[in-house]
Structure 1
Amino acid sequence: MGHAPHAGSTPMGVLCGMGAGALWGLVFLAPELARAFSPLQLTVGRYLAYGLLSALLVAPRRRRLVALLSRRDWLALGWLALAGNTLYYVLLATAVQTGGIAMTSLVIGFLPVAVTIIGSRDRGAVPLARLTPSLLLCAAGAVCIGWQAIAAPASGSVRDQLIGLACAIGALASWTAFAVSNSRCLARLDRVSVHDWNLLIGIVTGAQALLLIPATLALDDWNRAAGDWATFAGVSIGVAIFASLAGNTLWNRMSRLLPLTLVGQMILFETLFALLYAFLWEQRLPTATEAAAFVLVVLSVVSCLSAHQRERRGPVAQ
């Protein structure tokens, strides 16, 4: 499986990937902004808002869209909603609140490596050997991103750090599965626009959030001050609009413009913007290690772009 985008699609695809990363980086801040609420509560709030907004936007053409989808497509939507949204965000929010943004960014920073390795098996993909320099730079940048969190004494307990690390690894696995499956679904479903596909995922995610309400009512304390509820509502709606609606649409557009091996590299922008927002939130400049991570990540993307350009020039020359 796989897809072969046309030659002029790379610059626009990269811009869409950067835009998606800038919006998705906001989700790392959300658990800190609404720390009074649990990861499960944050997930329910965000995805109820996402599902409601998606349902309103898709309503005028719902009959046409339903007619285009098969049972297989609906099953795919359920899986993508779970892996890329519901399960991923529960794990991510838990990792941020227990292990910190730096450690979570470190683990999530390995997403490009995982997705690129899987994508190298697709038809027409750039051989993995040509992507080795890019993958090494990516890995080095990811290690630098969270080096201080590992080298310095942990701010929380050892138990919290281990829970955060385990949840971050779970989020990494969940979103890797989503990125690969979503890219292949978009390549197969050319009859559905990327915007409508995102809205359909939003509706299914909203339905999953409804199923989580009994669990969070039983497990979590909902007694909060009025100010906390205002923050919760603002964070939930803001993340739903900017990250889930706008960010996912840009990502889906990029997934149709770029091969899967390059799609993996674009996830790096989420990590970079997450760190940038963290620096602004903490009101500080990046350290030398964090600055080195920026450089390594940029070099990784440039190296990957160069490998794809050489691959495209080869067949043309032949």
Structure 2
Amino acid sequence: MNQSRASGAILAGIFCGMGAGALWGLVFLAPEIVPGFSPLEQAIGRYLVYGLMSVLLVAPRWRTIRPLLTPRILWALAWLALAGNLFYYVLLVSAVQMGGIAMTSLVVGFLPVAVTIVGSRQAGAVPLRHLAPSLLLCIAGALCIGWQAIVMPGGGAVATRIIGFACAVGALISWTAFAIGNAHWLRRMDGITSQDWNFLIGLATGAQALLFLPLVPWLGSGTHDAADWTRFAAVVIAVALFASIVGNALWNRMTRLLPLTMVGQMILFETGFALPYGFIWEARLPTPLEGTAFVLVILSVLSCIAAHRRPIPAEASIAA
């Protein structure tokens, strides 16, 4: 019976991860829909809406949650909001605008391997030598992506594509830190549900977005007409609702259902959905290098999962 329940939890967790990936994949499309707005404007717009929605949704349970918010938890919420939301989204939008959806989603697709490498230093974790095939595939995929982004003909200058690639790598680093830290804290929360944790991060991110709001006149993208603002409002509301509220809720639920060694692997669904979204939007097929990179990403993640099937101590974990 216990084995059946465990299998059911894993299956439910995988479906939650798939749903989160399908919704998060839309995030890569948003910068292409409103290209006239700067990364900072898009990030602030999205997270102000996310924060407002979180206020409304967490309000009924605020009296129960408030006593549980110790200084350590408040600090955790602050840095998770900054790393996993504002910093990550500014870098992601910059990468999409300068390097394209395919390049950005493929780079972020290496999150499972990045998370596992960080966790490999923990006691009881899978030894790094067992991850050699995954790391080699990861390097090969990164070379394909880098070559496509920097050397192959594109819509922008080489320098612009290089900066876009660097922003995508920065987004990967930022989200790796968030994925590990968020998994760590979700497993320590006894009185706070994964849904409420999502709303609390929304509150923290909304407050941070307000702090960055005065920078928009200096770092914004200029003037826009009514049609531009209407489209912008529709996009940030949709992204906040479907990606930040629903997508994050599914991800947090998945994090509590799956073993830690599987959590990072689920980000592959985001890449799997983001790529076809991008190709449909751009009305084109993937280039040979993009197709090769995607296959290498999948093989890298699958070999990483296979390495975790080796007998390892029960306390093995990727959480930081």
TM-score, normalized by the shorter chain, greater than 0.5: yes
251-260 vs 119-128, greater mean Cα deviation: 119-128
| One-letter code aligned to 2:9 | S
Of 252-261 and 204-213, the range deviating more from structure 2:
252-261
Residue 181, structure 1, aligned to residue 163, structure 2: no
Q: CA deviation at 1:314?
A: 10
Alignment of 1:4-43 (within 5 A): 8-43=8-43
Q: TM-score, normalised by structure 1?
A: 0.87
Verify the 8 A CA contact 1:13 1:258 in the aligned structure 2: yes
- Shift of the 299–99 alpha-carbon distance from structure 1 to 2, 3 Å rule, reads closer
Residue ranges of structure 1 left out of the alignment (5+ in a row): none
Task: Answer yes or no: is 1:171 the counterpart of 2:171.
Answer: yes
**Contact 1:43–1:89 (8 Å) recurs in 2:** yes
* Pairwise CA distance, 1:307: 4.4
**CA apart distance, 1:164:** 1.5
- Residue deviations 1:135-154, cap 9 Å, x none? 44455455555653344124
Corresponding position of 2:246: 246
Shift of 1:227: 1.2
Please tell me the root mean square deviation across aligned C-alpha atoms, in Å: 2.6
> Which residue matches 1:204?
204
| Kept in 2: contact 1:112–1:264 (CA 8 A) | yes
Distance 1:143 1:17, change over 3 A: farther
Equivalence for 1:267:
267
Please give the alpha-carbon distance, in whole angstroms, between the structure 1 residues aligned to 2:301 and 2:100. Answer: 26
1:206 to 1:264, Cα distance in 2 relative to 1, 3 A = same
Check conservation: 2:99, 2:161, Cα contact below 8 A: yes
Q: What's the CA shift for 1:104?
A: 2.0
Q: After TM superposition, give the deviation of residue 103 of structure 1 in Å.
A: 2.8
Q: Which amino acid aligns with 2:61?
A: R
Q: Cα distance, 1:41 vs. partner?
A: 0.5
Asked if the contact 2:89–2:171 (Cα under 8 Å) also holds between the matched residues in 1, the reply is yes
CA contact (8 A) 1:187 1:256 kept: yes
Percent identity over the alignment is: 63
Moved more, 159-168 or 121-130: 121-130
- Does the Cα contact within 8 Å between 2:183 and 2:260 map onto a contact in 1? yes
Q: How does 1:216-295 map to 2 (within 5 A)?
A: 216-295=216-295
In 2, are the aligned partners of 1:194 and 1:253 still within 8 Å (CA)? yes
Code of the aligned partner of 2:93: A
Matches within 5 A, 1:53-72: 53-72=53-72
In 2, distance between residues paired with 1:248 and 1:173? 19
Figure out how many residues of one structure are paired with residues of the other and give that number: 311
CA distance in 2, matches of 1:79, 1:298: 30
Residue 112 of structure 1 is matched in structure 2 by 112
Q: How big is the shift at 1:276? A: 1.0
Give the CA deviation at 1:251: 1.1
Distance in 2, Cα, partners of 1:54 & 1:80 = 16
Structure 1 64/18 Cα, relative in aligned 2: closer, same or farther at 3 Å?
Answer: same
What letter matches 1:27 in structure 2?
V
TM-superposed deviation, 1:105 = 2.6
Give the stretch that moved more between structures: 209-218 or 254-263: 254-263
Conserved in 2, the CA contact under 8 Å of 1:23 and 1:247? yes
The answer as to whether partners of 1:116 and 1:260 remain within 8 angstroms in 2 is no
Q: What are the within-5 Å matches in structure 2 for residues 288-303 of structure 1?
A: 288-303=288-303
Deviation at 1:206, TM superposition (A): 0.5
Give the drift of 1:313.
Answer: 12
CA distance in 2, matches of 1:12, 1:229: 39
1:267 Cα offset (Å): 1.5
Q: Secondary structure of 2:187's partner?
A: helix
- CA 1:65/1:84 → structure 2, altered by over 3 Å: closer, same or farther? same
Q: Show the counterpart of 1:156.
A: 156
Helix, strand or coil at the partner of 1:267: helix
What SS does structure 2 have at the residue aligned with 1:36?
coil
- Name the structure 1 match of 2:318: none
- Counterpart-to-counterpart distance in 1, 2:296 and 2:13: 21
| SS of residue in 2 equivalent to 1:203 | helix
Q: Residues 127 and 259 of structure 1: is their aligned pair in 2 closer, same or farther, counting only changes over 3 Å?
A: farther
Preserved contact between residue 81 and residue 205 of structure 1 (Cα < 8 Å): yes
- For the 8 Å contact 1:116–1:263, the answer to whether it is kept is no
